[in-house]
């Protein structure tokens, strides 16, 4: 008689038993072009029922692991700092309770608040960042906290050169200069990923996936589609490769479902979410 | 920590305390033209948050009454009789527990299963039926149970002439002949409604609202849009008029949200659902 | 074994026996704003199966009359005068064979070619014109033949003051001045229609229906939606009123179905087409 | 050789000579449900070319008056107070230069900044407010400046009871109580308008038009469509009635064009903008 | 004077002379997620006119072969077994008349009925199956006949291990176990195809193409888009490779055109249909 | 105070100083299937603000070069020869003033008029043509000037074998025969491009890019989507390769934005336009 729970498929553990906590962040306050990622996490939950919970790629089921879907946080519209506090607080609780937080955006700025407590717990934290955009501006129209500055802000709370960026194909010249000096950036695609894996073996890793790293042919349902991105298979193979790492947190951001009338972008977001959860779950259980 | 409940706005009573039980029926098995009403109830819940729970028309709030949203029933695809059994069983339980069931479709055939236990409890049951279509065929492509035959089937379980039809503007000649003999039909619009109210004072009434009674300008998100329907204000005024009656059950059917890209049809379904719930709620509390 | 005929519902007479000949004109060469009416007639045929062929308003069926659907003419893209010749030729044949031609547009310029042979046969021909736009320019960007000049051209082949315009709410000042002098124009809506009917009793009448006379809430699937139009019921009642007249030809133009994602505009076009065919059919049979 | 000016049709006066200054405000920072009004003013300009610049209703042309289209202001995303300052500053300059500002939203909060300099110039300023929503909350999720609080904020800078609200059909109970005490509210529709006109003769009036006062059948392209609104003709007649008043400023807000795939909402916004400009223009010239 | 035939481009042979018979099956009764494939075959016919009938890949024209388009079968909504009988009967007639049947879906369950008479004629029949999904469940929500069980049912009427599956990337674990034991399954893509061709030389082959084998970037217009699929070129090359085989029947299923607003999915379905027809046609003529 | 200029991002040079002149041609008169490219150039300008003006691929900014955006030409609807004259005249002026013209379509026929003055200036002019379609018919439905004949017409004003075609995958047999004799055609993709570059070193080259060379997964927003095309990366790499050539003019045609609801096609058109402008700009400055 409680059929109106709305969880991601196969994520039906209670909070207490869960090793992984999935939560949504309906926040798109600083989106510069087409807004609407506030509807992303709910769309991912709703459409996850078009998927199987079993992955033939990983030969495992979501219900093999204890995953709790905590629903969406409530972020006040137009209040960026208030929203970031709410996100940080929730992430902190999950981390403190020894669970792995996996956030569904919302826009990319949310990653900053998600990472704060994780970076506090793991001073060596590495951040793997897949994106079309550098997100390395120091400010955007004078705003310090924006989805265009988020990796710059994160660079200030993790060690220098501990951010690994892939797929980047858009930004200002100054951002690429900053990357040269302070991050590890692999431009255009995900090809350099395997080489990096050895280096990160054993180190705690946060994985921030801006879905616009995908080509707009695959993923047009986003605020700033940037042609020339990776295919779904390339992204998927990269996620499978990450299984070798010690992932301690993750986010999947920038689905804007109202620009996805065909449903193809939301389906991509759902499937990659399942694969990330299984990749992390398999790792925990080992 | 349980933010992923997905209830209609303001319907957060538990089952036990509730006087009204709202539930969804994702069933569109017999839809003859454009399918997709299976997604109707979920869309209504999701988009209800674009509404206020307070109605200035009725000067009351949904939370003033104890309303439980029981979520969606699980109907097996392609199994019409199995689905009807599941619906009937749930409706029976709600009725037996002394609560008023309000169903969100799904297609119109679901009304038949919803009504069975109510007609058993109230032998004098009157059915008020708003629709563009007669729904009075004896069979449709040899199927006895179809959204095109539903009122014919209902006519077999309530007393002759106890169905009151409004807004009807499409059907076969034979259906209009049947209506002449066995129902009270008011064609094209809702104008004759007030005259009927006195007659039905005190009698138990089931209200079946096929949303395609609305003009497609208001409500295009449905399988068989039929031009020449009523405006939202006309429908709304009719619903307010029903407050004088003893409503013992209701359904709101035929929203097909994938044909509603603008969201206007879903917004209409949400608002009329709120108004019906408040109308019934006010009546119970008196 | 010939299921792939694509005719308007209920229009299955062969040409020889038919009293009415329906035909499509996929031509949108001179459309000034949003093109695409070339797809109009085919959409009307495809979606007519969402309708009943019986009309409760007129208590008659399309199959009560002998109506032939001749399919679409082939108009060369970009060749306005060639296309007009093809249309005129077909209209001429139908008229010569003693049948009533009813054209499905396509854009409004097609009316000119449809009318030529009818105006030749009936020197007193009156033209009833429902539209949002005057269509009375002498030229449009120097083009004499355009959907913005079509009624001006028609005014040159029928007697002065024999055009009756209704619903007009957009045009240049000069066009309204021309109307003052040379047509009977009723601005904004259809209210003056009944007064005109007596005057036209017995006179041969051509009915040209530009569907954008409807308000865009009802009919957004058109090239130049003009807010402030009539409701479907107003248009429908007007069509029923025309039953008293001697309609010798008609057209229904300006559906652009690619701007009608919900299908509501196409449904309106289908239903009004059925009602016009029945209105003409009833008249012939008397 | 400067064909890439993008002005509203017929608004081609330079700033210096202009009596009316039209300007766009691409701001939707506080939108609570579906965002995207940031794209409204640009859509209105682009689609204005589907209109005539001549209005048969008012028998006048936009080019009969000197109207300057100043383009869009640049509002920093996510910075509400910074954006409001920019708007206020521009409005102030226009007012100081003796011209009438007419703003195209963007969301409704922009009205507050537009009005400040006008209220300073005219201490008796009356505000006529057409909307579906009260917009009278004291705060929204703790935010003082929001499109849900805008009329409350405006009530603090004009005299008590100097706000005249029409069409209101949604809000919280507390907002309606506030209206009872501090504004003149006419619920649901625009019928009481004529009675108010005499009272306001000669008094400086600001006209704030939230387009969602229109029924979603007419205007679904907005963030929070609220069924049960007025028709285009009702709105249009009200605008014509306002010609008798001394309008000293106006805004037209809440078009969200990405929810308007058919273009019908944008067409409605364009036409009503033309009619408002002509109504004001006629008044100035007298 | 019979322009309203609606055939796939270049398929204008009469039935008697035809070597290949194309027919549509508007059936989507058991679709589990997004319905609408009932509109697939008609959309493919309508949009085929955006193609050339000549293929530069195969240097041949559809009109080089005698292909008859028999239009759509009439399947009663909601009656699965009745519909399957109708399909089987038509397929049987075509096979008996010595022609090759090529079906346009509709959903995948139709393949079962299409194959029955072919499997009866050719006891060694091999089935090549391209799909994203295994379709190997024994039942789906207790239904034995469903688009999720269709290959399981087919496995019961052809010899063990005679089904060759390609592109499969979604299913339950139990289905992959069944495949291991009873079919030849190549997961994820079409790469193993060439190796299989030699093995099948001379053996009668049925080709069942579920278009969702394509990546949703190419083909989002389907009920259950499954990311990670093949590109159009990969599918096309595979079809060209099949020219070496003795194809005795084929189907192309699961286009749901109402989810294909851009038309790209329908265009893909049209082009692959042409290429399959030419591949079979070339083979017959040799 | 002149914020309503609507230029492609970073193209803000005045005409006099400019080395490159970008201009739009809203012409789609001869489009054979889905019309609407008349809205292409304006959409490209509007959406260019979703891009950066800096390209990391070329490490340069649009503002590094002097590029003037001249806005859209005014082409009379339905008047093909008049429109071609207007285009030719503008192109001639730009060429005469020693600047490089880059046109944004509109449909492909515009290339013919753009090229005439360039071919007059450079008798050795080579034309590089990327397209899905041959465009080599001698006439189309008897029209000599059509987007289906444009390369044939161009073949008549440049030297034999001076047209280099890539990506071609659709046409009639006769067109491919013509190509064999009179052009250099590389079918299906862009692979042969590098081999051609040496040959063309130093020769003046016109680059005509029909965006439907892209696969419909990338670019569905066009009149005649043809599956099996190139990826964005393939096209982009080809454009970068062209940097070695002496480009003296270019066009980018066939975006039909009303078929691009997601915006992905328009984003692709914007980005490739930026890359072409930078490639040409870099070349001039050397």
pLDDT score at F285: 63
Asked whether A69 and A45 are in contact (CB, 8 A), the reply is yes
B206 by DSSP, 3-state: which? strand
Chain A contact set for B70 (CB, 8 A): 1-4
Query: Residue E224: which of E153, E164, E276, E146 has the closest Cα?
Result: E146
Q: Which residues contact F203 (CB under 8 A, 6 or more apart)?
A: F124, F125, F126, F245, F246
pLDDT score at D33: 86
Q: What is the DSSP string of B147-160?
A: TTTHHHHHHTTS-T
Query: Residue C208: which of C97, C118, C73, C79 has the closest Cα?
Result: C118
Task: Among E29, E34, E38, select the one facing B78 at the smallest CB separation.
Answer: E29
pLDDT score at D78: 78
Distance (Å) from the alpha carbon of B224 to chain E's nearest alpha carbon: 14
Asked whether A24 and A43 are in contact (CB, 8 A), the reply is no
CA–CA separation, A263 and A274 (whole Å): 17
- Evaluate the omega torsion of the peptide bond into residue A182 and state whether it is cis, within 30 degrees of 0: no
- The verdict on a CB contact (< 8 Å) between B218 and D217 is yes
In terms of DSSP bridges, do strands A60-61 and A54-55 run parallel, antiparallel, or are they unpaired?
Answer: antiparallel
Distances from the Cα of D227 to the Cαs of B240, B273, D132, D172, in angstroms?
A: 15, 12, 9, 16
3-state secondary structure chain F: CCCCECCCCCCECCCCCCCEEEEEECCCCCCCCCCCHHHHHHHHHHHHHHCCCEECCCCEEHHHCCEEEEEECCCCCCCHHHHHHHHHHHHHHHHHCCCEEEEEECCCCHHHHHHHHHHHHCCCCEEEEECCECCCCCCECCECCCCCCHHHHHHCCCCCCCEEEEEECECCHHHHHHHHHHCEEEECCCCCHHHHHHHHCCCEEEEEEEHHHECCCCCCCCCCCCCCCECHHHHHHHHHHHHHCEEEEEEEECCCHHHCCCCHHHHHHHHHHHHHHHHHHHHHHC
- Evaluate the omega torsion of the peptide bond into residue F166 and state whether it is cis, within 30 degrees of 0: no
pLDDT score at E4: 65
Asked whether B225 and C218 are in contact (CB, 8 A), the reply is no
Which residue is it, tokens 């392609």?
Answer: B78
- Ranges assigned E (strand) in C131-245: 163-168, 184-187, 204-210
**The total number of residues written for chain D in this structure:** 286
Determine whether F199 is exposed, middle or buried from the number of CB atoms within 10 Å of its CB (0-12, 13-18, 19+).
exposed
Chain B contact set for A4 (CB, 8 A): 5-7, 45, 69-72
pLDDT score at C1: 39
Interface with D, mutate which of A27, A31, A35 (most D CBs under 10 A): A35
- Over residues E246-272, the mean pLDDT reads 97
- The verdict on a CB contact (< 8 Å) between F220 and E262 is yes
Chain A contact set for F267 (CB, 8 A): 216, 225-227
Query: Residue A9: which of A60, A58, A61 has the closest Cα?
Result: A61
- The verdict on a CB contact (< 8 Å) between C217 and B221 is no
> What percentage of chain B exceeds 90 in pLDDT?
89
E245 by DSSP, 3-state: which? coil
pLDDT score at F142: 85
The residue with greater pLDDT, E113 or C32, is E113
CA–CA separation, F32 and F29 (whole Å): 9
pLDDT score at B1: 40
Q: What is the chain C residue with the closest CA to E69?
A: C4
pLDDT score at A1: 39
- Over residues F183-211, the mean pLDDT reads 95
Chain B contact set for E34 (CB, 8 A): 36, 258
What is the tens place of the pLDDT at every residue in D195-231? Answer: 899 899 989 999 999 999 999 999 999 999 999 999 9
> Is the CB of residue C262 less than 8 Å away from at least one CB of chain D?
yes
A85-94, long-range: CB within 8 Å, 24+ apart, which pairs?
A: A85/A113, A87/A25, A87/A27, A87/A113, A87/A114, A88/A113, A88/A114, A88/A116, A88/A117, A90/A23, A91/A115, A91/A116, A91/A117, A91/A118, A91/A249, A92/A116, A92/A117, A94/A21, A94/A23
Stretches where chain C sits below pLDDT 70 are: 1-4, 285-286
D21 by DSSP, 3-state: which? strand
Query: Residue C114: which of C231, C200, C21, C43 has the closest Cα?
Result: C21
What's the whole-number average pLDDT of chain B?
95
CB within 8 Å of chain E, chain C residues 11-70: 15, 42, 45-46, 69-70
pLDDT-derived band of residue D145, with 50, 70 and 90 as boundaries? very high
Residue E246 confidence (pLDDT) above 70:
yes
Which residue is it, tokens 């957004």?
Answer: C220
- Over residues E144-170, the mean pLDDT reads 97
pLDDT score at B6: 83
With the C-alpha atoms ordered B140, B144, B149, B155, is the resulting torsion angle positive or negative?
A: positive
pLDDT score at E63: 95
Domains of chain A, start order: 20-284 (3.40.800.10)
Asked whether F194 and E234 are in contact (CB, 8 A), the reply is no
What's the whole-number average pLDDT of chain F?
95
Tell me how many degrees the CA angle A189-A195-A199 measures, rounded to the nearest 5: 125
CB atoms within 10 A of CB B150: 29
| Of the listed ranges B90-99, D164-173, E189-198, F154-163, the one predicted with least confidence | E189-198
The token pair at E41 is 């075959």
Chain A contact set for F54 (CB, 8 A): 171-173
Tell me how many degrees the CA angle B111-B113-B119 measures, rounded to the nearest 5: 90
What's the whole-number average pLDDT of chain E?
95
What is the tens place of the pLDDT at every residue in D45-65? Answer: 999 999 999 999 999 999 999
Asked whether E273 and E250 are in contact (CB, 8 A), the reply is no
Asked whether D80 and D149 are in contact (CB, 8 A), the reply is no
Task: Among F28, F38, F78, select the one facing C143 at the smallest CB separation.
Answer: F78
What crossing angle do the helices spanning A264-285 and A40-47 adopt, rounded to 10°? 80
Query: Residue A23: which of A86, A82, A65 has the closest Cα?
Result: A86
Which residue is it, tokens 């009204």?
Answer: B20
This model of the complex carries an ipTM of 0.95
Chain C contact set for F33 (CB, 8 A): none
Distance (Å) from the alpha carbon of F49 to chain D's nearest alpha carbon: 12
> What percentage of chain D exceeds 70 in pLDDT?
98
Query: Residue A104: which of A70, A132, A65 has the closest Cα?
Result: A70
Stretches where chain A sits below pLDDT 70 are: 1-4, 285-286
CB atoms within 10 A of CB E197: 15
pLDDT-derived band of residue E3, with 50, 70 and 90 as boundaries? low
- Ranges assigned E (strand) in B33-77: 54-55, 60-61, 67-72
Distances from the Cα of A236 to the Cαs of A213, A273, B170, E203, in angstroms?
A: 12, 10, 51, 37
Residue F286 confidence (pLDDT) above 60:
no
In DSSP terms, which residues pair with A23 in a beta bridge?
A: A103
Could you give the dihedral angle defined by the CA atoms of residues C262, C268, C270 and C276, in that order, rounded to the nearest 10 degrees?
A: -170
CB atoms within 10 A of CB C15: 16
pLDDT-derived band of residue F95, with 50, 70 and 90 as boundaries? very high
The token pair at C14 is 């062969």
Alpha helices in chain A (DSSP H): 40-47, 80-96, 110-121, 150-155, 173-182, 193-200, 232-241, 264-285
Phi, psi of B100 (to 5 degrees): -100, 120
CA–CA separation, D132 and D137 (whole Å): 14
The residue with greater pLDDT, B286 or F165, is F165
- The verdict on a CB contact (< 8 Å) between F259 and C258 is yes
- Over residues E96-122, the mean pLDDT reads 98
Asked whether B8 and B47 are in contact (CB, 8 A), the reply is no
């Amino acid at each position: 008689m409680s059929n109106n729970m709305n969880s991601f498929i196969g994520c039906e553990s209670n909070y207490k038993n869960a090793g992984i906590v999935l939560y949504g962040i309906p926040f798109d306050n600083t989106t510069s072009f087409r807004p609407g990622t506030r509807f992303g996490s709910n769309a991912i939950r709703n459409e996850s029922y078009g998927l199987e919970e079993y992955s033939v790629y990983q030969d495992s089921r979501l219900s093999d692991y204890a995953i709790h879907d905590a629903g969406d946080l409530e972020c006040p519209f137009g209040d960026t700092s208030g929203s970031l506090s709410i996100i940080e607080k929730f992430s902190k609780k999950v981390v403190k309770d020894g669970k792995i937080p996996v956030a569904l955006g919302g826009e990319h700025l949310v990653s900053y608040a998600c990472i704060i407590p994780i970076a506090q717990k793991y001073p060596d934290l590495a951040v793997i960042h897949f994106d079309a955009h550098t997100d390395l501006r120091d400010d955007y129209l004078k705003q310090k906290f924006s989805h265009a500055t988020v990796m710059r802000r994160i660079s200030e709370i993790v060690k220098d050169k501990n951010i690994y960026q892939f797929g980047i194909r858009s930004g200002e010249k100054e951002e690429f200069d900053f990357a040269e000096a302070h991050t590890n950036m692999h431009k255009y695609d995900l090809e350099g990923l395997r080489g990096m894996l050895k280096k990160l073996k054993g180190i705690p890793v946060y994985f921030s996936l801006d879905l616009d790293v995908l080509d707009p042919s695959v993923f047009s349902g986003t605020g700033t589609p940037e042609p020339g991105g990776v295919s779904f298979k390339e992204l998927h193979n990269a996620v499978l490769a990450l299984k070798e790492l010690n992932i301690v947190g993750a986010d999947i951001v920038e689905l804007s479902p109202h620009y996805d009338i065909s449903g193809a972008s939301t389906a991509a977001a759902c499937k990659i979410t399942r694969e990330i959860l299984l990749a992390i779950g398999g790792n925990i259980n080992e």
